[in-house]
Structure 1
Amino acid sequence: MPRRTATMLASTLMLIALLCAGVLIPVPYAEMSPGPTVNTLGEHDGEPVLQISGHKTYQADGHLNMTTVRVTSADYRMNLVEAVYGWLAHDSKIVPHDTLYPDGKTEEQSTQENAEEFSQSQESAKVAALKELGVPVKSWVIVSTVVKGSPAEGRLHAGDVIKAVDGTAIKQPSDVAKLVTKHKPGQKVVFTVVPAKEQAAAEKANTAATRTQDVTITTATSHDTGAPRAVVGISAGTDHTFPFTIDIKLADVGGPSAGLMFALGIYDKLTPGNLTGGKFVAGTGTIDDNGTVGPIGGVEMKTVGARDRGARYFLTPADNCAAAAKDTPGGLTLVKVKTIGDALDALKDIRSGDTAALPKCTTKG
Structure 2
Amino acid sequence: MNKKSLVIKTVIMVLTVYLLFFLQIPYYVERPGSAVVINDRVEVDGQTDQSDSQYMLTTVEIFKATPFSSLFQFLPYHSGVSEIDLLGNYEDYSAYRNLQRYYMDYSIDTAKAAAFNEAALPYDINYEGVYVMSVSQKSNFFKDLKMGDSIAKIDEKSFDNTDEFIDYIANQSVGDTVTLSVERDGKSVDISGDLVLIEETGNPGIGITLVTQSSVTTSPEVVIDAGNIGGPSAGLMFSLQVYKLLVEDFDSSLEVAGTGTIAENGEIGRIGGIDKKVVAADREGASVFFAPDDTISSEALEENPDLKSNYETASETAEAINSDMQIVPVQHIKDAIDYLNTFD
Q: TM-score range by the shorter chain?
A: 0.7 to 0.9
**2:62 equivalent to 1:64:** no
Spell out, residue by residue over 1:149-201, the C-alpha distance to the aligned partner (whole angstroms, 9 max, x if none). Answer: 739969xx7374x6x9898x84432122112211102335689x9x98xxx9x
Q: Which runs of 5 or more structure 1 residues have no equivalent in the other structure?
A: 1-15, 42-47, 201-214, 353-365
Q: CA RMSD in A?
A: 3.8
Residues 166 and 189 in structure 1, CA contact (< 8 A), matched pair in contact too:
no
Residues 40 and 66 in structure 1, CA contact (< 8 A), matched pair in contact too:
yes
**2:93 equivalent to 1:111:** no
Spell out, residue by residue over 1:62-96, the C-alpha distance to the aligned partner (whole angstroms, 9 max, x if none). Answer: 01111111111xxx3432x5344431x22433344
Corresponding residue to 2:150 among 144, 158, 164: 158
Corresponding residue to 2:66 among 60, 75, 78: 78
Query: What residue is the counterpart of 1:267 in the other structure?
Result: 243
Residue type of the alignment partner of 2:233: S
Compared with structure 1, are the counterparts of its residues 312 and 174 closer, same or farther at alpha carbon in structure 2 (3 Å cutoff)?
same
Corresponding residue to 1:181 among 140, 153, 170: 170
Spell out, residue by residue over 1:295-350, the C-alpha distance to the aligned partner (whole angstroms, 9 max, x if none). Answer: 1111111101101101111000113112223322321221111111111112223x
Task: Write out aligned runs for 1:1-365 (5 A).
Answer: 23=20, 29-41=27-39, 48-53=40-45, 59-72=50-63, 76-79=64-67, 81-87=68-74, 89-103=75-89, 105-146=91-132, 150=141, 158=150, 160=152, 170-187=159-176, 219-222=194-197, 225-227=200-202, 229-231=204-206, 235=210, 236-274=212-250, 277-319=252-294, 320-328=310-318, 329=321, 330-349=323-342, 351-352=343-344
Equivalent pairs: percent with the same residue? 23
Q: Secondary structure at the match of 1:229?
A: strand
Q: Secondary structure at the match of 1:326?
A: helix
Compared with structure 1, are the counterparts of its residues 26 and 111 closer, same or farther at alpha carbon in structure 2 (3 Å cutoff)?
closer
Following the alignment from structure 1 to structure 2, what is the Cα–Cα distance between the partners of residues 281 and 121?
19
Following the alignment from structure 2 to structure 1, what is the Cα–Cα distance between the partners of residues 84 and 191?
39
Residue type of the alignment partner of 1:114: Q
Spell out, residue by residue over 1:209-240, the C-alpha distance to the aligned partner (whole angstroms, 9 max, x if none). Answer: xxxxxx99664214665435143868454333
Query: What residue is the counterpart of 1:10 in the other structure?
Result: none
Residues 57 and 271 in structure 1, CA contact (< 8 A), matched pair in contact too:
no
Residue type of the alignment partner of 1:240: V
Following the alignment from structure 1 to structure 2, what is the Cα–Cα distance between the partners of residues 159 and 129?
28
TM-score when normalising by structure 1? 0.69
Query: What residue is the counterpart of 2:301 in the other structure?
Result: none
Q: Which runs of 5 or more structure 2 residues have no equivalent in the other structure?
A: 1-12, 295-309
- Answer with 1 or 2: which has the greater Rg: 1
Residues 41 and 226 in structure 2, CA contact (< 8 A), matched pair in contact too:
yes
Task: Tell me how many residue pairs correspond in the alignment.
Answer: 298
TM-score when normalising by structure 2? 0.73
Spell out, residue by residue over 1:242-276, the C-alpha distance to the aligned partner (whole angstroms, 9 max, x if none). Answer: 2232111231211111110000011111123326x
Following the alignment from structure 1 to structure 2, what is the Cα–Cα distance between the partners of residues 305 and 82?
20
Following the alignment from structure 2 to structure 1, what is the Cα–Cα distance between the partners of residues 76 and 205?
48
Compared with structure 1, are the counterparts of its residues 334 and 95 closer, same or farther at alpha carbon in structure 2 (3 Å cutoff)?
farther
Residues 218 and 232 in structure 1, CA contact (< 8 A), matched pair in contact too:
no
